[in-house]
Amino acid sequence: MKLSAAITVAAVSGAQAFTAPVNKPLRPASSLSVTQGDLDGAQSMIDGILTEKNCGPVFVRLAWHDSGTHDVSLADKEWPASGGAIGSIRFDPEINHGANAGLAGAIKLLEPVKEAFPGVSYADIFQMASARGIALAGGPEIDMKYGRVDATSPEECSPEGNLPDAEAGPEGKFGGPGGTASTEDESAAWHLRKPTPTEVEFGAEKTKFTDGSATKLADGSETTAYTAGGSPWVEDWLVFNNSYFTTINDASTDEELVKCTSDKCLWEDAGFAPYANKFADQEAFFESYAKAHKALSELGSKFEPVE
């Protein structure tokens, strides 16, 4: 997929598939109790969107950029002060943070799901779309928990700066003083240890892998039904597997594949390298990935019972 990784958690590319900014909330959060029937219906609709649009990568990126704002040092504050998977990414200013470029269109793709099942929170819809995107691309089934409560206003958005950089800025440092706490560091590895998911703000407008030509799906078939553009980490970017861990550290791979400093450091840092090497085995990667995805999807969330 158009994905990168940090520690055992893979993170989504900055493919510029969607660009329209959101300047106002879409639909208000619902106070209705969610039922299992609502969740089943929402999942069916999401599966249909994924099958038609092949938009799993941008749904994963949307969910992770919503949850990845979580600051564990604020977890003892009144919810939702610590950010996280609370659906706040749908609001301006958060949707217009630099790291979230292109994600407004992903929210619009999921808006019909909210309209059909208003009892399902945006936070649940975003995380469900991510998990289903992974599963339908051939990845592991994620043991998801639902019943998340939504943030209700722009005032509950996290400040800009909680998501990390893939490359150093003009002064040679990753991150900056913004956000709820500084993530600034001259080392990519130590910068990654401060935030959670990785995002990328550069890359080619399109490559031979993303120019609208046929690309492989998880079942072995090919499709041209995707939004062209962006730079992938791996050739078969609509298939979820462990090829990231066999590609990034291989100097002979195609020059159009993305290899960020924040990717390469996983094989260079003593703490990360054992995992990067371990995940050359797909079974080991899937086992760890499923646990990491579930944990990330619940960061900062407040849950109400599913009826």
Positions marked active-site: 65
Contact 259, 248 (CB under 8 A): yes
d(CA 277, CA 34): 42
28 alpha carbon, distance to own chain's centre: 23
- Residue where the block lists tokens 């990519």: 188
First to last CA, the chain: 35
List the structure tokens of 4: 């990168």
Contact 200, 12 (CB under 8 A): no
Phi, then psi, of 73 in degrees rounded to 5: -70, -15
Contact 162, 69 (CB under 8 A): yes
d(CA 264, CA 195): 17
Phi, then psi, of 174 in degrees rounded to 5: -90, 140
242 Cβ partners below 8 Å, 6+ apart?
A: 279, 280, 281, 282, 285, 286
